[in-house]
Amino acid sequence: MSSGKIEISGINKFYGDVHAVRSVDLTIEAGSYCCFLGPSGCGKSTLLRLIAGHETPDSGEMFIDGQSILNTPARDRPTAMMFQSYALFPHLTCIDNIAFSERMHGIDKATRHKNAREILEVVEMSDYADRLPSQLSGGQRQRIALARALITKPKVLLLDEPLSALDENLRVKMRNELKSVQKLFGITFVHVTHTNTEAIATSDKVIVMGDGVVDQEGTPYEIFNHPSSAYTARFMGGHNVLVSQEGHSGQLRLAIGEGQLIDVSKYLTKKQNGLVVAKSYALRRDLCWLEDIKGNKMSAGVENFKSEVDTIEYEGASFKVTLTSGHPEKIIVRISDVDFYKAQFSEGQTVRCCFKIKNLCPLS
Amino acid sequence: MAKRIHSKNSLVTYLLGGFFSLYVLFLYGPMFIIFLLSFQGPTGGMTFPIQEYSLHWFKELFSDNIAADVSGSFQRSIILGLMVMTLTVTISVIAALGFRRNFKGSGIMFYGAIISLIMPGFLISFGMGLILQLLDIESTWYTTALGAQLTWTLPFGLLIMFAVLARFDRSVEEAARDLGATSWQTMRYVVVPLLLPGITGVALFGFTLSYDEIPRTTLVVGDSNTLPMEILAMTNTLTTPSLYAIGTLTTVVSVASITFALFAIKRMQDRLGSSQIASSES
């Protein structure tokens, strides 16, 4: 029923000597909400513009619903794009901005204004039909841009960092609205962002990109809980990355700091919850906890190491406690405010940092 | 403390204000004197005092007493100015849009176009005159002088368009294409409407630069003079306040065209503000 399945194979894009997109293969299911996530310059926007037809790839193929689109110019593709700056036409009122595409296709004024008013209602902007873009707030402009893209009845809506121009509260509100619009229209949304929370909150599928390649793809749950690489773990935030050192005779130790190692070899042999040998492991910051140095005996499957509290940062519902240990970056423990107030940790205090072995997520 | 800072500031304000007044006096004083003296009475001379105020020297200007073709040259200058304006706008807008593509050799082409700005105007006229003589082409104000003036106005127009396009957000063009507009429609409905104030600026420059151009026109104007050429010739022979009357008249034309253009730009921005689709509907 839903349409807008995107298939990308072997897409390459060079800008001079810069290899912006490197042999990307992707499948995005019809009617799904997909996020390209990565830092600036990772190729995510380029990939989006390649799908839209505003850039031409140097090699590869692209299909939407099984039809090759590479030879179709941008204006004829079944895609619509929402630009980062919205790119509303400053000389046209909201209703004429929205009616622009139908005007280009020679639809008479009465009809196209009627259609535009319908979609204005969907984005709850009916009262602003005759305003100019310059008379709107950021959030209102975004709604107009969304309406202008939707009126073309695209199979795929491409959103280039749609929320980056908004303030934090509005961003959270708008990402919910985008999600509900996507459900309402049942079309594929491809959303480019560098904010991991945005990607997790909106999408059915997250595609983490780095340096022109797809680093990992999966559901938000998979990406957050089982990052497959140190890159994704670091980019998603909320993880400590522990680098492992394989010794002689099958030993496995985790580097905690300079010269500080935890031997976890004994867990390798266990059949249940056995530890897989990997170059490094991700460990969620909120799944670590701190105990007093005098602390009790550890229960099974729990490892710990001594460290000193470096800094404490208040985050509202939680505290971010940075330890002096950690290699190459310092280990961070996120403690709920309730637990924190119970224990009253202070900077410079020596503590015992604990974690469960089963929470170590092997990284490639 | 705060009071001291305040008094120091106002001293600086007075000093800068005084300096600015001097600057304005220096800039417009001479023009104002000419303007006053052009209303000299029939018995008055070319210097102060003013005997009485009259329009005598303006009438004199268009009488047979003056051995100069004031109205004819004025007409020619206006027509030439409009021709230069049209060509400058057309060519520099298209060229500037073309330069955005960064084609091979665009750098050399750009400098080639700009370099005629710094060439002494009289030399251009001289060289052009020599070539025309070699090729046995007759000089007229509407052919050769037109060409000579374009060597001056085109680079100007091109530079203005570069500045206008530098502030132009190209994503609106992409948006137009994304929404199904052809290249021509993108140009017609998005690019040109948004550039129109800038284009009007180019038109204004084209006209005014042509209207008072002398060095490049001098040797290629042919038998019939443009207005500035005619005035230049008159300064040698004319010894009455009619000379000032010409100054006043030509200034009025310049000021009027600039005012008109600025007004047009303002109106266009207002109209761009309101619904443009409604007014351009077929």
Question: Tell me, what's the pLDDT at B55?
Answer: 83
Question: Tell me, what's the pLDDT at A249?
Answer: 63
Contacts of B185 in chain A (CB under 8 A): 104
CA separation for the pair B33, A329 (Å, rounded): 78
- State the Cα angle at A225 between A222 and A227, rounded to 5°: 75
Selecting from A76, A87, A103 the residue whose C-beta is nearest the C-beta of B172 gives: A87
**Chain B: residue nearest A158 by CA?**
B178
Nearest Cα to A153, choosing from A194, A111, A190, A98?
A98
Question: Which neighbouring-strand residues pair with A28?
Answer: A6
Q: Which domain holds residue B94?
A: 68-237
Asked if the Cβ–Cβ distance from B178 to A80 is below 8 Å, we say yes
Judge whether B168 is closer than 8 Å to chain A, CB to CB.
Answer: no
B5 pLDDT more than 70: no
Task: Give the CA radius of gyration of chain B.
Answer: 24
Q: Best of B169, B179, B270 to disrupt the A interface by mutation (most A CBs within 10 Å)? A: B179
CA of B175, closest CA in chain A: separation in Å?
6
- Would A6-226 and A238-363 be classified into the same CATH topology? no
Whether the CB-CB separation of A285 and A239 falls below 8 Å is answered with yes
Asked if the Cβ–Cβ distance from B175 to A89 is below 8 Å, we say yes
A42 pLDDT more than 80: yes
Contacts of A112 in chain B (CB under 8 A): none
CA separation for the pair B62, B74 (Å, rounded): 11
Percentage of chain B modeled with pLDDT above 70: 91
Q: How many domains does chain B have?
A: 1
Span A277-288, mean pLDDT? Answer: 88
**Chain A: residue nearest B276 by CA?**
A92
**Chain B: residue nearest A107 by CA?**
B281
Asked if the Cβ–Cβ distance from A81 to B178 is below 8 Å, we say yes
Question: Tell me, what's the pLDDT at B275?
Answer: 38
Q: What pLDDT, in 10s, does the model give residues B86-120?
A: 999 999 999 999 888 888 888 898 888 888 888 88
Using pLDDT thresholds of 50, 70 and 90, give the confidence band for residue B263: confident
Judge whether A101 is closer than 8 Å to chain B, CB to CB.
Answer: yes
A101 pLDDT more than 90: yes
CA separation for the pair A136, A145 (Å, rounded): 12
B94 within domain boundaries: yes
The structural architecture, per CATH, of the domain A238-363 is Beta Barrel (2.40)
B133 within domain boundaries: yes
Span B166-191, mean pLDDT? Answer: 91
CB pairs < 8 Å spanning A and B:
81
Whether the CB-CB separation of B51 and B43 falls below 8 Å is answered with yes
A294 pLDDT more than 50: yes
Question: Tell me, what's the pLDDT at A79?
Answer: 94
Question: Tell me, what's the pLDDT at A1?
Answer: 55
Preceding omega of A39 cis (within 30 degrees of 0): no
Q: Best of A51, A55, A75, A134 to disrupt the B interface by mutation (most B CBs within 10 Å)? A: A75
Judge whether A54 is closer than 8 Å to chain B, CB to CB.
Answer: yes
Residue B279 or A190, more confident: A190
Selecting from A52, A96, A105 the residue whose C-beta is nearest the C-beta of B180 gives: A105
Q: Best of A15, A72, A84, A91 to disrupt the B interface by mutation (most B CBs within 10 Å)? A: A91
Asked if the Cβ–Cβ distance from A152 to B180 is below 8 Å, we say yes
**Chain A: residue nearest B270 by CA?**
A91
Percentage of chain A modeled with pLDDT above 70: 96
Instruction: Output the domain CATH number for residue B221.
Output: 1.10.3720.10
B281 within domain boundaries: no
Looking at A122-126, B9-13, B76-80, which range is the least confident one? B9-13
Q: Is A291 exposed, middle or buried (0-12, 13-18, 19+ CB in 10 A)?
A: middle
Q: Give the ipTM of the model, two decimals please.
A: 0.82
Asked if the Cβ–Cβ distance from A109 to B281 is below 8 Å, we say yes
First-to-final CA distance of chain B: 67
CA separation for the pair A117, A98 (Å, rounded): 9
Over chain B, what is the mean pLDDT?
Answer: 84
B280 pLDDT more than 70: no
Question: CATH number of A6-226: 3.30.70.920, 2.40.30.10, 3.40.50.300, 3.40.109.10?
Answer: 3.40.50.300
B276 pLDDT more than 50: no
B205 within domain boundaries: yes
- State the Cα angle at B141 between B136 and B144, rounded to 5°: 45
Compute the CA torsion angle A9, A13, A18, A24 (nearest 10 deg). Answer: -20
A333 pLDDT more than 70: yes
Long-range contacts of A242-245 (CB under 8 A, 24+ apart): A242/A280, A242/A281, A242/A282, A242/A283, A242/A331, A242/A360, A243/A279, A243/A280, A243/A327, A243/A328, A244/A277, A244/A278, A244/A279, A244/A280, A244/A281
Compute the CA torsion angle A280, A285, A288, A293 (nearest 10 deg). Answer: 100
CA of A251, closest CA in chain B: separation in Å?
57
Task: Give the CA radius of gyration of chain A.
Answer: 25
Domain boundaries defined on chain A: 6-226, 238-363
With residue B149 as reference, give the H or E element that holds it: helix B144-166
Number of CB atoms found within 10 A of residue B232's CB: 13
Question: Tell me, what's the pLDDT at B161?
Answer: 93
Asked if the Cβ–Cβ distance from B174 to A109 is below 8 Å, we say no
CA of A356, closest CA in chain B: separation in Å?
51
Q: Best of A49, A100, A102 to disrupt the B interface by mutation (most B CBs within 10 Å)? A: A100
Nearest Cα to A150, choosing from A58, A51, A78, A67?
A78
CA separation for the pair A192, A21 (Å, rounded): 15
A268 pLDDT more than 80: no
Judge whether B172 is closer than 8 Å to chain A, CB to CB.
Answer: yes
Question: Tell me, what's the pLDDT at B18?
Answer: 94
Q: What pLDDT, in 10s, does the model give residues B20-64?
A: 999 999 999 988 988 888 888 887 777 778 778 888 888 877 777
Strands A205-210, A33-37: pairing is parallel
Asked if the Cβ–Cβ distance from A152 to B179 is below 8 Å, we say yes
Q: Is the dihedral of CA A322, A327, A329, A331 positive or negative?
A: negative
Contacts of A131 in chain B (CB under 8 A): none
Looking at A286-290, A339-343, B3-7, which range is the least confident one? B3-7
Judge whether A89 is closer than 8 Å to chain B, CB to CB.
Answer: yes
B61 within domain boundaries: no
**Chain B: residue nearest A78 by CA?**
B178
Selecting from A75, A81, A90 the residue whose C-beta is nearest the C-beta of B181 gives: A75
**Chain B: residue nearest A55 by CA?**
B174
Judge whether B255 is closer than 8 Å to chain A, CB to CB.
Answer: no
Contacts of A93 in chain B (CB under 8 A): 274-275
Q: What pLDDT, in 10s, does the model give residues A55-77?
A: 999 999 999 999 999 999 998 99
Over chain A, what is the mean pLDDT?
Answer: 89
Judge whether B272 is closer than 8 Å to chain A, CB to CB.
Answer: yes
